[in-house]
Amino acid sequence: MDQITDKEFVLIRDYLKQHYGISLNDEKKGLVYSRLRARVNAMGMDFSEYYKHLISCKTGEEKQFFFNALSTNHTFFWREPDHFEYFRDKVIPWLEENVKDKDVKVWCAASSSGEEPYTLQMILHDHFKSKQGWDVRVLATDLSEKVLNKAVHGVYSKESIEVLPNNYKKSYFTKYDENSVQVTEEIRKLIFFRKFNLMDERLPLRKPVHVVFCRNVMIYFESPEQKALVQRFYENTVEGGFLFIGHAESLNHTNTKYKYIIPSAYRKLEKE
Q: What is the pLDDT of residues 32-63, one digit of tens each?
A: 888 888 888 888 888 888 889 888 888 778 88
CB atoms inside a 10 Å sphere around CB 168:
19
Q: What is the mean pLDDT of residues 143-169?
A: 92
The yes-or-no verdict on residue 66 having pLDDT over 70 is yes
Q: What is the mean pLDDT of residues 79-91?
A: 94
The residue ranking higher by pLDDT, 9 or 89, is: 89
Residue 40, domain CATH = 1.10.155.10
Residues 36, 137 within the same domain:
no
- 101 assigned to active site: no
Determine the structural domain holding residue 194 and report its residue range: 81-267
* Domain edge (last residue) among 23, 40, 70: 70
Residue pair 33/3 in contact (Cβ under 8 Å)? The answer is yes
Of 11-15, 63-67, 191-195, the range with the lowest mean pLDDT is 63-67
| Per-residue confidence band for 245, with pLDDT thresholds at 50, 70 and 90 | very high
* Total domains present in the chain: 2
The yes-or-no verdict on residue 72 having pLDDT over 80 is no
Residues 114, 244 within the same domain:
yes
pLDDT at 35: 82
Residues 139, 226 within the same domain:
yes
pLDDT at 1: 47
The yes-or-no verdict on residue 226 having pLDDT over 70 is yes
Query: The pTM is what?
Result: 0.78
The yes-or-no verdict on residue 272 having pLDDT over 70 is no
Catalytic residue among 13, 142, 215, 267: 142
pLDDT at 222: 85
The residue ranking higher by pLDDT, 254 or 206, is: 206
Q: What is the pLDDT of residues 185-225, one digit of tens each?
A: 999 999 999 999 999 988 999 999 999 999 988 887 888 88
Residue pair 4/29 in contact (Cβ under 8 Å)? The answer is yes
Residues 39, 104 within the same domain:
no
Q: What is the mean pLDDT of residues 130-147?
A: 94
* Domain edge (last residue) among 14, 44, 70: 70
pLDDT at 271: 61
Q: What is the mean pLDDT of residues 233-247?
A: 95
Is residue 76 a part of any domain in this protein? no
Percent of the chain with pLDDT over 90: 56
* Domain edge (last residue) among 70, 96, 116: 70
Residues 63, 89 within the same domain:
no
Which candidate, 184, 190, 112, 107, places its Cα nearest to that of 148?
A: 112
- 13 assigned to active site: no
Catalytic residue among 14, 26, 35, 188: 35
Residues 129, 31 within the same domain:
no
pLDDT at 44: 87
The residue ranking higher by pLDDT, 223 or 138, is: 138
Percent of the chain with pLDDT over 70: 96
Residue 191, domain CATH = 3.40.50.150
